Amino acid sequence: MKHLALLLITAVAAIPVPQSSTTGQSSHPKRDADDRSTPSSLTVLYTASATGQIRSCNCTKFRFGGYGRELTLLKSIRTQPSDVILIEGGDTCGWTGFQAKLKAEITARALKLLKYDAMIPGEEELGVRGACYIDYFDPEAVPIICANIFNAGEDESAYQPYLILTTGSGLNIAIIGLMDTCVQDIFISKRFTQVVKEPAEVLPRIVEAVREKADLVFVVYHAPGDKAEKLAAIPGVDLVLATHRSDKHVSLPSPDSNRVEEGVETRDGVVYINART
């Protein structure tokens, strides 16, 4: 059953939208009461660890994953009266060779056609196996967000550090991307002139910069959950999403079902989501 961890699976979390108090002041002042329309919640969709699984699996009972099925799901969700954002959390590509390159090309096109709002790269896109797939993706179509990868000797991050989205109801959402520092030891320091800085050192400065611009601040960290949840302690963060699935934390569908039910946790008031599929 281990192959299930490689399938493209979309998870959903409903996040409450900040509301104004009786004095007309919200907890995050950027969004005025007059700008608020019908949606009172935000639906966060994310994918991670697909590792090149672009089509539905050939399972004997239930069929999982695939961009075709994802498109059908997205159409249904996007018709609902709710703000929706869609994030790719990394390792959407995988392996090497001719087939892997074709899948990477299709994946890059699919993310554009499915209208992803942002992509946080994983080690598979950055070349852990020798093939650097990140160049297949168009940052103009789907912004590539990562705040803690730097070119050696430079002060600005190699990728866009954050993105501020404005939803249909006027909600401003800051998405900050981060990469686990283990990538530095695995390949970057040997093959590229790039360095990966500690997220806890980089994140506070960025949160401070975006906090006044955003109603909600989301941190998408391509790392295992035990590392990502520590970032919830940084002031100003509203949600932490860990997108590097760990083999010891894999959730499988319940019997006779093709759904994975996972509760959304909180850490000191911060929403915490660990990608377990």
Q: In tens digits, what is the pLDDT along the chain, a chain of 277 residues? A: 222 223 333 444 555 555 433 333 334 445 554 444 555 678 899 999 888 888 877 665 666 678 988 999 899 999 987 899 999 999 999 988 999 999 999 999 999 999 999 999 999 998 888 788 999 999 999 999 999 999 888 899 999 999 999 998 899 999 999 999 887 766 665 666 788 999 999 999 999 999 999 999 999 999 988 888 899 999 999 999 999 876 556 666 666 766 766 667 888 889 998 886 5
For 246, counting Cβ atoms within 10 Å of its Cβ (0-12 exposed, 13-18 middle, 19+ buried), the class is: middle
pLDDT tens digits along 235-259:
999 999 999 876 556 666 666 766 7
Spatial neighbors of 63 by CB under 8 A, at least 6 apart, are 56, 57, 69, 258
Helix, strand, coil share of the chain (percent; to 5) = 25, 25, 50
Structure confidence at residue 75 (pLDDT): 93
Structure confidence at residue 66 (pLDDT): 87
Cα(57)–Cα(55) distance, integer angstroms: 6
- Look at the chain and count its residues: 277
Cα(38)–Cα(198) distance, integer angstroms: 40
Structure confidence at residue 5 (pLDDT): 29
Q: Which fold has domain 2-274?
A: Purple Acid Phosphatase; chain A, domain 2 (3.60.21)
| DSSP label of 122 | -
Q: 21: which 2 tokens? A: 């108090």
Structure confidence at residue 30 (pLDDT): 56
Cα(23)–Cα(171) distance, integer angstroms: 19
Question: What is this structure's pTM?
Answer: 0.84
Cα(173)–Cα(271) distance, integer angstroms: 14
Structure confidence at residue 50 (pLDDT): 87
Structure confidence at residue 55 (pLDDT): 85
